[in-house]
Structure formats: structure tokens, C-alpha cells
């Protein structure tokens, strides 16, 4: 495949037609089919993005649906996770008014954990929708234990500017990392013992360290770096 500066709309559409035919026939290894390599080049030119977006969305959706069985409507996933956020708030109240310091400490730690899990995907969703990115469904994925994930509608994802895609990816990661420190902010007004504050602090620090050493290679921050690189390499018409 030629470099993006030399790709024509017709070449991109022909390549996507080939990939879509392969996916329809049951071959859904998009990496092996060259799908992601093609889109890495397409992203750099707005006219190619517009020509490719709808077909890319169909291909991505078909491959995803074939590989992921347990899916939920976006509204349902958001509702469950927002209920989780409310549970975290209730746990903070318990930490303040618990009958014993031990119960207060457990409640504060649980609030940090619950918020860390439950704010991630809604943050992606909220920022994504602001930038015109839609989402298809929630699903359970990742290594054990499975975690909730939010699947983008790839046609709208591709049409969003690279900087906006980067901010959307960063939003979930930042929300998760902030959650323990938000819980920790309620410690002075609670009856929780000092060990609970230390546990919450460790949770927050461990998440940051995990991001530095893992997420930059395989998760949200890797995607942020990828999209910011696309923004720097983007070719504007006439340039």
C-alpha cells in the first residue's frame, strides 16, 4: 500500500471493499487484513477519511460483533455505572457517619475502588459525545477479572479530529486516576482511621504507575499517543 500522500480515494475504497469481502466471508483478523495499517494512513487526510468512514465503520462493527458476545445498550451501561458512582458517594457518607472507625475505613477504601471502576467509561462517553463520537454498546472485556468496555461507532470516531479522539481516550484514564484522590479528599471529614487513607493513597499511586508502565503500551495512553501523532502528521489539502 502506498504512503498516504499518494493514496487516492479510489484506492482506499477498493482496499476497503477487499477487506469487507474478507470479513463477510468469515476472515475477521483485521490486523492481518491490513485494515488498521490502511486506516493509519487514511487518518492523515480528511478527504480519505470521508471516503473511508462508512465502510470502515461497517467492517469494524462486523468484526467486533463476531468476536464479542456479551454486549449491552449504551444507556444501560451508563445507568449501571452511574448507579455505581452513587454507591461510591453513599460509601463516603458511611465513612463520615459510621459507628466504628473500621467500618468508616472500609467504606472509604471501597468508595475509591468503586469510583475508579465506574467513572472510566462514562468519562469516555461524555467527552466523546461532545466531540461528535457515538458509541455502539458496552461489553465485558480485558484480562480477568473482566471490566466494562465502551465500543465506539468507528465511522464517527474516524470523522472526529485526531486531537478530539486523543482527548476522548485520555478522559477515561484521567477520571479513573482522579477517583481515589477524590475519595481521599473526604478523609479529613470522616471517622476513618489513618490506615484507610494510606490504602486509598496507595491505590491512586499504583494506578498512576500502572498507567506509566502499561497503559502507554497497550491501553488508553497508547491511543492518546497514537492520535496525537496522527494530528502532527496530518496532511492538509494543498500542503
32, part of any domain: yes
Q: How far is residue 4 from each of residues 8, 114, 163, 183, 235, measured CA to CA in Å?
A: 8, 44, 19, 47, 9
Q: How many H-runs (helices) and E-runs (strands) does the chain carry?
A: 11, 3
For residue 134, the SS3 value is coil
238, part of any domain: no
Q: How far is residue 172 from each of residues 27, 146, 192, measured CA to CA in Å?
A: 32, 17, 28
Q: What is the pLDDT of residue 214?
A: 72
Q: What is the pLDDT of residue 140?
A: 85
Residue 15, all three cell numbers: 482496499
Q: What is the pLDDT of residue 5?
A: 61
End-of-domain residue from the set 48, 67, 86: 67
Residue 38 sits in which domain range?
4-67
Residue 141, strand partner residues: 147
Among residues 55, 52, 11, 16, the alpha carbon closest in space to that of 34 is found at 16
For residue 137, the SS3 value is strand
Among residues 189, 191, 197, 194, the alpha carbon closest in space to that of 99 is found at 191
108, part of any domain: yes
Same domain? For 130 and 158 the reply is yes
138, part of any domain: yes
- Whether omega before 145 lies within 30 degrees of 0, making that bond cis, reads yes
Same domain? For 126 and 215 the reply is yes
Same domain? For 30 and 112 the reply is no
Same domain? For 123 and 217 the reply is yes
Same domain? For 90 and 205 the reply is yes
pLDDT digits (tens, 9 = 90+) for 120-158: 999 999 999 999 999 999 998 766 567 789 999 999 999
Contacts (Cβ under 8 Å, ≥6 apart) of 233: 44
Q: What is the pLDDT of residue 239?
A: 47
φ, ψ dihedrals at 237, nearest 5°? -55, 135
> Considering its fold, how many domains does the chain have in total?
2
Q: How far is residue 98 from each of residues 86, 102, 223, measured CA to CA in Å?
A: 18, 9, 42
Same domain? For 117 and 75 the reply is yes
- The list of the chain residues with pLDDT below 70 reads 1-5, 142-145, 215-216, 235-239
Residue with cell 461524555: 126
Same domain? For 207 and 142 the reply is yes
End-of-domain residue from the set 51, 67, 83: 67
Among residues 211, 180, 44, the alpha carbon closest in space to that of 111 is found at 180
Among residues 108, 113, 119, 110, the alpha carbon closest in space to that of 85 is found at 119
Same domain? For 31 and 47 the reply is yes
239, part of any domain: no
Strand blocks (E) in 115-164 = 135-141, 147-152
Same domain? For 27 and 45 the reply is yes
End-of-domain residue from the set 67, 97, 116: 67
Task: Identify whether the C-beta of residue 65 lies closer than 8 Å to the C-beta of residue 57.
Answer: no
φ, ψ dihedrals at 209, nearest 5°? -60, -40
Same domain? For 137 and 20 the reply is no
Amino acid at each position: 500500500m502506498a504512503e498516504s500522500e499518494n493514496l487516492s480515494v479510489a484506492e482506499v475504497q477498493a482496499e476497503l471493499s477487499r477487506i469487507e469481502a474478507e470479513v463477510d466471508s468469515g476472515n475477521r483478523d483485521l490486523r492481518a487484513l491490513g485494515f488498521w495499517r490502511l486506516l493509519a494512513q487514511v487518518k492523515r487526510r480528511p478527504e480519505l477519511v470521508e471516503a473511508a468512514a462508512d465502510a470502515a465503520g461497517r467492517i469494524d462493527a462486523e468484526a467486533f460483533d463476531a468476536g464479542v458476545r456479551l454486549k449491552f445498550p449504551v444507556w444501560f451501561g451508563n445507568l449501571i455505572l452511574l448507579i455505581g458512582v452513587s454507591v461510591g458517594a453513599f460509601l463516603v457518607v458511611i465513612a463520615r457517619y459510621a459507628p466504628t472507625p473500621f467500618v468508616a475505613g472500609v467504606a472509604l477504601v471501597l468508595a475509591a475502588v468503586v469510583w475508579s471502576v465506574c467513572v472510566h467509561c462514562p468519562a469516555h462517553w461524555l467527552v466523546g459525545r461532545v466531540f461528535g463520537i457515538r458509541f455502539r454498546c458496552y461489553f465485558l472485556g480485558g484480562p480477568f477479572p473482566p471490566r466494562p468496555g465502551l465500543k465506539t461507532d468507528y465511522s464517527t470516531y474516524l470523522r472526529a479530529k485526531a486531537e478530539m479522539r486523543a482527548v476522548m481516550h485520555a478522559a477515561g484514564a484521567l477520571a479513573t486516576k482522579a477517583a481515589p484522590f477524590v475519595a481521599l479528599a473526604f478523609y479529613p471529614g470522616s471517622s476513618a482511621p489513618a490506615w484507610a487513607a494510606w490504602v486509598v493513597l496507595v491505590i491512586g499511586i499504583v494506578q498512576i504507575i500502572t498507567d506509566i508502565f502499561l497503559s502507554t503500551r497497550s491501553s488508553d495512553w497508547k491511543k492518546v499517543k497514537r492520535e496525537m501523532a496522527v494530528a502532527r502528521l496530518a496532511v492538509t489539502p494543498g500542503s
